[in-house]
Chains A and B, each alone.
Chain A
Amino acid sequence: MSLKLPEGRTSRALLAAAPWLFFLALILLWELVCQVFSLPEYVLPAPIAIVEAFFNVEFSRWLTHLWATLRVALMGFAVSILVAIPIAIAMMRSELLTRTLYPLLVVIQSTPVVAVAPLIIVLMGSDDPSRVLITCLLTFFPLVVSTATGINETPGELVELSRSLDAPLRRETWQIRIPYAIPHIFSGLRVAITLAIIGAVVAEFVAAEEGLGYFIQFSTSFFRIPQAFAGLFFLAVVSLLLFKSVQWIQQWFFPWSLPRKSGH
């Protein structure tokens, strides 16, 4: 149900094109500002210079950096799914476990990962495991919370239906509670996937020889600002595509979990 006012005669084509047009207008404005005020490249590079810088870097180098970041982000994402969902299920089953674990989870969540990252690298070395761990520290909390919320929001009547059938708790969990949590799990996953990229980049900032975060950092330190911007935009596009992929997966495998589109 939309609370927005009816758009009157606004055509659907315009509604669809609006974000793209706005984005294009911003880029043009940016280019214009750079040209008019002849801003030096190290202050604010013009969009054209950024595009140029992007193509000046060999494509295979882009792929190497992309793969390094993507690998860590996706591994961290996968590990935190494997950790967070069982923890959420276990917390649903046991009040004691919830009481024991929850404060620790909150402490981990409220500790700035950027501050902890160097310590983790010192402790575990600057290899994939420590980067994956840094990523996990960012991603798993929203997943635990959203999964637990979903599981707890199962309608009481369905739980009663299950009890009245004297069904095993295992089936109550798998046939009722977890499917009910799917919409919540996916909103957690959408948050987690973008955090996973942030985690991977943070880890690269601390210690790395490759990856898009590392690329941005060394470009900046050599004052290759347009190149740094090119890396930044590339990273943003990758992050956006991953976010979209999570949505596509939900649409494809769990179409019922999305609100039905209103018929117009």
Chain B
Amino acid sequence: MTTPATNRSFVTLAGVGHRYDPNPAIPSAVTGIDLDIRRHEFVAVVGPSGCGKSTLLRMIAGLLTPTDGEVSVFGKQVDGPRDDVGIVFQKPTLLPWLSVRKNVLFPLRHKYGRYSRADEKRADELLAMAGLESFADKMPDELSGGMQQRVGIVRALLLNPDILLMDEPFSALDAMTREQIGFDLLKIWEENPKTVLFITHSIAEAVLLADRVLVMSKRPGTVLDVLDVDLPRPRTTHTISEPRFGQLTERLRKHIYEPEAA
């Protein structure tokens, strides 16, 4: 599945592959990935465990260098960590010795060694946007898992990145919290448009949130299909009951459970 690069492409992956082990008998983690992500597009990636979804994310983040092909952002090759990228991990990974507000400010303190009053104000605004204003002075272990992950998202937004990379961010949460935080993420994304790459195991979550869903194969990970999600926005709980939602998730399921038939 190759899409020709257009001017509108923001994140471009051209023939990207990565192998951890130089031994050719061991398959690459990912191979031959061509992808163009438009600015402020929400792209979800689904695929079986170990299909290299996280490897893909780390190459876009500049944490891993592709062994084949090239990743570029806005026409510039990615050759190391970039400060226009925010990352949200599977676990909230908050620092247990810092208050919620200080956790949100941590990227600034960590990168530059300091932050200003204006930064503190911005942190408070972001926390308020995520409905966490009354928890700013609490310690992370006083928060529920869902709230901790919200703090993780707010932390990733602090440096106002263009790209938000999310590595199965909601997979540790219970089903109800997960649905709610998904809608909250959409609200945040609509208010602060970002280019989002969202990795998930949940087909329904991918369809509900994304503009496009990338289906990846087992190792070595390649792109099996790219699905345009033409569901109207804003998406709500009603979206789930629409017939189109059912059709799209059905199509994705086919890919994952019977990749040969698809």
Is there a chain A Cβ closer than 8 Å to B190's Cβ? no
Residues of chain A within 8 A of B107, CB atoms compared = 161, 165
Interface centre among B61, B90, B110 (most CB of A within 10 A): B110
Spot the interface stretch: B93-101, B118-126, B173-181.
Answer: B93-101
Q: A164 and B61 in contact (CB under 8 A), knowing A254-B97, A256-B96?
A: yes
Distance, CA A175 to CA B250, complexed state (A):
46
Contact (Cβ within 8 A) B111 A260:
no
Contact B109 A175 (CB under 8 A): yes
Interface class of chain B by DSSP: loop
Among residues of B, the one whose C-beta sits closest to the C-beta of A171 is B110
- Find the B residue at minimum CB distance from A182: B97
Known interface pairs A164-B81, A165-B110; A155-B91 also in contact (CB < 8 Å): yes
Beta-carbon contact of A157 and B93 below 8 Å: yes
Within 154-183 of A, Cβ neighbours of B (below 8 Å) are at 155, 157-158, 160-167, 171-172, 175-176, 179, 182
Closest to A170 in B: B113
Alpha-carbon gap, A176 to B97, bound state (A): 10
Q: Which residues of A contact B131 (CB under 8 A)?
A: none
> Which residues of B lie under 8 Å from residue A157 when comparing CB positions?
89-91, 93
B145 CB to closest chain A CB, in angstroms? 14
Q: Chain A contacts of B228 at CB under 8 A?
A: none
Asked whether, in the complex, the Cβ of B113 is within 8 Å of the Cβ of A163, the reply is no
- Look across to chain A and name the residue whose beta carbon is closest to the beta carbon of B165: A164
A158 touches B95 (CB 8 A): yes
Q: Does A257 contact B (CB under 8 A)?
A: yes
**B87 CB contact (under 8 Å) in A155, A164, A176:** A164
Identity of the chain A residue whose Cβ is nearest the Cβ of B85 in the assembled complex = A164
The listed residue (B62, B95, B111, B141) touching A167 by CB distance below 8 A is B111
Q: Of all chain B residues, which has the CB nearest A166?
A: B81
**Please, what's the 1-or-0 string for B130-143, where 1 marks a CB less than 8 Å from any CB in chain A?**
00000000010100
State in angstroms the CA–CA spacing of A162 and B95 once bound together. Answer: 12
Point out the residues of chain B lying under 8 angstroms from A160, CB to CB: 58, 61, 63, 87, 89
A-B contact pairs, 21 of them (CB 8 A): A157-B90, A157-B93, A160-B58, A160-B87, A160-B89, A161-B89, A161-B93, A163-B81, A164-B62, A165-B83, A165-B111, A166-B81, A166-B83, A166-B111, A171-B110, A171-B113, A175-B110, A179-B97, A256-B96, A256-B97, A257-B97
A164-B85, A167-B110, A175-B110 given; name 20 further pairs at CB < 8 Å.
A155-B93, A157-B90, A158-B93, A160-B58, A160-B61, A160-B89, A161-B89, A163-B63, A164-B81, A165-B83, A165-B107, A166-B83, A166-B111, A171-B113, A176-B110, A182-B97, A256-B96, A257-B96, A257-B97, A260-B141
**9 closest cross-chain pairs (CB), A and B:** A157-B89, A157-B93, A165-B111, A166-B81, A167-B110, A256-B97, A164-B81, A256-B96, A167-B111
